[in-house]
Chain A
Amino acid sequence: MTAEARPVVPEPRWGGRSLTAARAAAVLIALIAAVTVAYATQGQPVVVTQAVITGILTGGVYGLVAMGLTLIFGVLDIVNFAHGAFLALAMFVTFGLVAALGVHPYAALAVSVPLLFALGWVLQYGLLNRAMGGPLQNQLLITLGISLLIENALLLFLGANPRSAPLPGDRALPVLGAVADTSRVLAFAAALALAGALWLILTRTRVGTAIRAVAADPRGAEHVGVDVRRIYALTFALGTACAGAAGTLVAPFATIEPTTGQLFTIVAFVVVVLGGMGNVPGALAGGLVIGLTEQLGGVFLPGQSPMLPVFVVFVLALFLRPQGLFGGNG
């Protein structure tokens, strides 16, 4: 990575405000145009309404999953291929607690978040810190190894049978003729809350300031007394804790399998690149764009996989705006 492309968790800096706003508006207009065309060409408007609602709710979930990843990518410059595996681990913890103790799925947050935080800390401190500053692919290969280890340990010990951890009283809420599951609406709300919480931690606390300092210039941060290795561990742990929270929150409506995480890893990377790496609100916005792209893609190209348009958007974003749709100009 060249020096000028170094990732930085953006300050709440609204310098390029007009440009960012223009790009956000362009994306919004494109989405609105796509929805309008869909309404005009499709016979049943309710199909489109359902696609839009599902797209927004799924998009919120994607944003939720991508938040931890964008933090890790932005601050540590690590392509964390294990993010989905952490998510799957949290889902299995949730399932285990629900199945064994009969607790409410959301109560599992009290276990999954601290557990994943601790795991993230240990992995960064014990393994990844040794590879920091080395070639980029070394960190990628380590997280790949971690991901394969977690997935296959789940497969080995728990088997490949899909599980579920349904939310008690989960039902379909009617919205404009379409429907939205309570669990998805709650996950969406949690995504907003988590984005807010992360934003506050990063911008309003000493630790957050240290994280941003390390992201901007690790050596400079070290000179002013920041324990960089500790901040690395803390950031990675925060990222995995987010995966823990996301895993528990999506457990009620996701199919819980050892390989569930793979799909989320891919989508989360798309969202991170789209939102700009290290950009937490960007992750939420990117998640919404991807959620809607996927659903509208399903409306326009019924025979194709909904992921295909997502990858097209991904490749375009990589080529044209690798710093993210909503970031500054690097």
Chain B
Amino acid sequence: MTRPGGLPGLGGRGTRRNLLLIALLCAVMIPLPLVLPPAQQAVAVRVLIFALMGLGWNLMSGFGGMFSFGHAAYFGIGAYTGAWLLVERGVSPWIGMLAGAALAAAFGLLIGFLSFRYKLRGAYFALATFAFAEMLRLIATNSDLVNRAQGYNVPLIQGSSLWMLQFPLGSPGYFWVALALVAAAVAVTWLFLRSRAGRFTIAVRDDETAAESLGVSAMRYKLLTMALSAAITSVAGAFYVQYYMFVDPDLAFGANVSIQAILPAVIGGVGTLWGPVVGAVVLGPLSDVTATLLRNPPEALSMLAGRAGLDVMLYAALLIVMVLALPKGLYGTLAERRRG
């Protein structure tokens, strides 16, 4: 890697340009909730949660090359740690978020260590990550410590408090917090990729044998990437609980969560800095669009009024089309064209 900032997927030559872009996008987005109607604001927050999950997944699976089908494990650890500390101990969600990130990173290290120790690859690695997420779901469902299948409701407080991460309905506070978290995640990803560790990670992804022969410890950088990826995804989980004020084992650890972490990156561009964000912008509004469509369906679809499933069908179709037609994703394809 001789050219700084010229890493694949970092999108351009300028070393500082991505930081500038983050700042610029934030500046543009900050007034957004003030002009959006409440319903659209909820969509915007969902987009940001998708982006955060996707950024986490992309770090490990896109840049690290370790395909995870179990990011629900980290999302759920973040969600449950935050919820448990808040409900059972009255601890601020911010501290819960940090604790969740630490726990998720530790769990990622455990899974990673076992998987690499026993040389799991490809399909077997994906299945192992899936199995761990499902195990956590089953344990949460049957454990009195975390309220079994009922999960947790976030207790309401009087008024709004940034420290307790709770704002009145329709307040732009949630959006701003989520925006800050996403901006931080993009910045962390960018800094990681520019760092020595990030470059070693990409070297290990591209050719593990070659990297090891040059003295790069593959295990070490894979584990580091997994821990960071797990921490970012867990933050999405912790924020999710605060925003929707509810969590149960399926919402936290279900297979759908793992899929939702994969989709933004695949649609936007696996292994690109901005791919998950672009993918989230596409995915976030889909379910609202279909819900609106099915609430007042056109004549031809009248028998489907009020039915569920159309949104998932749409993003499933989108997923297949993307993999076959644009395997580099929307952003990845564009960035490549522009570099030409």
Contact = CB atoms under 8 A, between A and B. Distances in A.
B138 A311 contact: yes
Interface stretch (B74-82, B169-177, B302-310): B302-310
Nearest to A155: B309
Nearest to B294: A156
B134 interface: yes
Contacts of B67: 136-137, 140
Interface in A140-173: 140-142, 144-149, 151-157, 159-160
Contacts, number: 128
B120 A322 contact: yes
Find the residue from B118, B142, B309 having the highest chain A CB count within 10 A: B309
B123 A144 contact: no
Contacts of B255: 262
A38 B144 CA distance: 26
Interface string B63-104: 000010100000000000000000000000000000000000
A138 B323 contact: yes
Given A156-B307, A156-B308, A311 B327 contact: no
A266 B126 CA distance: 13
Interface stretch (B6-14, B311-319, B332-340): B311-319
B324 interface: yes
Nearest to B128: A318
Interface string B249-270: 0000001000100100010000
Contacts of A131: 323-324
Contacts of B259: 144, 148
Interface in B115-168: 115, 118, 120-124, 126-128, 130-132, 134-135, 138-139, 141-142
B123 A142 contact: no
Interface in A259-279: 262, 266, 269-270, 273
Contact of B123 (A79, A160, A258, A307): A79
A195 to B, nearest CB: 23
A175 interface: no
Interface string A78-111: 0100000000000000000000000000000000
Given A127-B324, A149-B316, A156 B123 contact: no
A197 interface: no
Nearest to A301: B142
A140 B123 contact: yes
A305 B313 contact: no
Contact of A273 (B127, B308, B313, B327): B127
A230 interface: no
A141 B309 contact: no
A140 B138 contact: no
Interface in A230-283: 258, 262, 266, 269-270, 273
B25 interface: no
A136 B327 CA distance: 12
Of the four ranges (under 10, 10 to 19, 20 to 34, 35 or more), the interface on chain A belongs to 35 or more
B180 interface: no
A96 to B, nearest CB: 17
Contact of B126 (A137, A151, A303, A320): A137
B226 to A, nearest CB: 16
Nearest to B135: A311
A294 B115 CA distance: 24
B319 A141 contact: yes
Contact of B313 (A153, A269, A304): A153
A62 interface: no
Contact of B135 (A77, A157, A160, A308): A308
B320 interface: yes
A17 interface: no
Contacts of A149: 313, 316-317, 320
Nearest to A160: B308
A138 B123 CA distance: 11
Find the residue from B61, B124, B126 having the highest chain A CB count within 10 A: B124
Contacts of A44: none
A319 B114 contact: yes
Contacts of B320: 127, 141-142, 145-146, 149
Contacts of B316: 144-149, 152
B127 A152 contact: no
A1 B121 contact: yes
9 closest Cβ pairs, A-B complex: A148-B316, A152-B309, A156-B309, A155-B309, A145-B320, A145-B319, A319-B118, A152-B312, A305-B138
27 contacts: A79-B127, A127-B320, A130-B324, A138-B323, A138-B327, A141-B319, A142-B320, A146-B316, A148-B315, A148-B319, A149-B316, A151-B309, A152-B309, A155-B307, A155-B308, A156-B308, A157-B304, A258-B309, A266-B130, A273-B124, A273-B127, A308-B138, A308-B139, A318-B124, A319-B114, A319-B115, A319-B128
Given A2-B121, A141-B319, A156-B307, 7 more contacts: A131-B324, A141-B266, A148-B316, A153-B309, A156-B313, A311-B138, A318-B128
